[in-house]
Amino acid sequence: MCMINPNNILLAQLTGTGGLAMGGGTLQFDWLTLTSQLGSPILTPLWAQINILIGFVLACWLFVPIMYYTNVWNFMTFPIADSRFFYLNGSVFQLPGNTQQGAAVPLPKGNRFEISNNNTHPHFYSTVTFVIGNYLFFASLAALITHTIFYYGKDILKHAKTSLQHRQNDIHCLLMSKYSEAPQWLYWIVSTTGFVSGCFICHYGKLMPWEYLYISVPLGILSLLPTGIINAKTNIFIDLTNVTVLVSGLLLPGNVAGNYTFSTYTWLIQNRAMYLLRNLKFAHYMKISPRAIFSIQLIIALLSSAIRYCISQYLMDHIEGIYPSDVFGLNSSYSVMLWLILAGALLPILFWVLQRFYRHNKFLSYIHIPIMFTTIGVIYLQTMSNYPSWLLVGFIFHMVVRKWWWNRYALLFSIAMDIGIQISLFFIYFIFKYEQNVYFPEWYGTDGGTCPLSHANYYGKIP
């Protein structure tokens, strides 16, 4: 739509891919891009997509433009959607020793950066979507905790006391009860060995003080239950990347290696444990022995750990570091946004109470605050143009195609698309780019030339 008048900054920001993405000009059907953050729109249930739609409209098409065009915290000096940091004059913030945008930053001795802060205004600033997205994500985790307690607390206690043998009317549990589970003592041995090994690696590898594993490991484990429930009901995975980056930045300020080690441990504990649960659930329906799944997962974990450690050593000298507390802490310019965390914690309780008073209102039973906040919180990672396309594809498959196709082929189609994309990327890279150095031709439809000013600030400057 911005091609109506490409030189109109306001039109570009409202309709372009780098702006608010209003209008059909931002629609895309690239499966890899669509599923990069929110997963398959075909597998996410319709009620969850409606929650995402409501959250998107309120946050991205109401809250973001109000804060941007009223120039709160000088947001108009920066583009609407950009994950980089900026100086107050609108130029891109660069770390000490960074002579070129995107260049590797040599780390001082001890893998530490010392960036001064006057405790009033940080030396770098963020865009409106980066700030709102991150704080909404923090609020979503607070909402997730209270939502899990109030909505699923009784069910969690009930099912925790139920064994496979005593599950009623479930043929899968009855058949799987014939298999022997991997013994608990084996889980404890593996967990203890992994934790002790992690302590030695962190200490002698000078990655981070080993005692911080006592915070990292429980944080990853405690996140499994609430995020697992959401993943099971909606196919949306909520990871702790943002929270781990913030916590590590507060605990280990300036320690780049420590920040990334803490974040990696916490995230991988949650992520790999979730994959183990998925595999066990898959084995549950396919009637595969839990011991076989445990053995396979253990072998893969050992191999991947060795490979990841070698890669991390290579990358250690190419990682940039910034104080997360300068952006998200109490001393940042955006500290008032921390009230969103309290709002996120209270809103699920409010709607839970309303459901008790209006039990016959089905609309209230579908309201899901954690999904609203979490899915919109990832706008700091991607442009807002992904959401209209993702919602449109979901609407088509759930409202139009579902009647005759969805129940039988939705999962198979989604998996086939994922596999097809990976295979095509493999061949494109090794046949064209790696061997022949052949790249896709650039034209006005692919290089952003159709709406360049959507990436500019309010005054037309493209950083």
Per-residue model confidence as pLDDT tens digits over 381-439? 666 878 888 888 888 888 887 766 767 788 788 888 988 988 888 888 777 776 667 77
Residue 119 has what pLDDT? 42
Looking at per-residue confidence, does 260 or 335 come out higher?
Answer: 260
With 60 as the cut, is the pLDDT of residue 97 above it? no
pTM: 0.78
The angle subtended at Cα 281 by Cα 278 and Cα 287, nearest 5°, is 135
pLDDT at 116 exceeding the cut of 50 = no
Angle at which helix 128-160 crosses helix 339-357, to 10 degrees, equals: 50
Quick: pLDDT tens for 265-323.
888 888 888 888 888 888 887 888 888 888 888 888 888 878 877 776 766 655 554 46
Q: With residue 285 as reference, give the H or E element that holds it.
A: helix 256-286
Quick one: pLDDT at residue 420?
A: 92
383 CB-contact burial (10 Å; exposed 0-12 / middle 13-18 / buried 19+): buried
Could you tell me if 326 and 250 are in contact, meaning their C-beta atoms sit under 8 angstroms apart?
Answer: no
pLDDT in tens, 449-459: 567 788 888 88
Distance, CA of 265 to CA of 208 (rounded, Å): 11
Average pLDDT over residues 340-354: 89
The answer on pLDDT for 101 being more than 70 is no
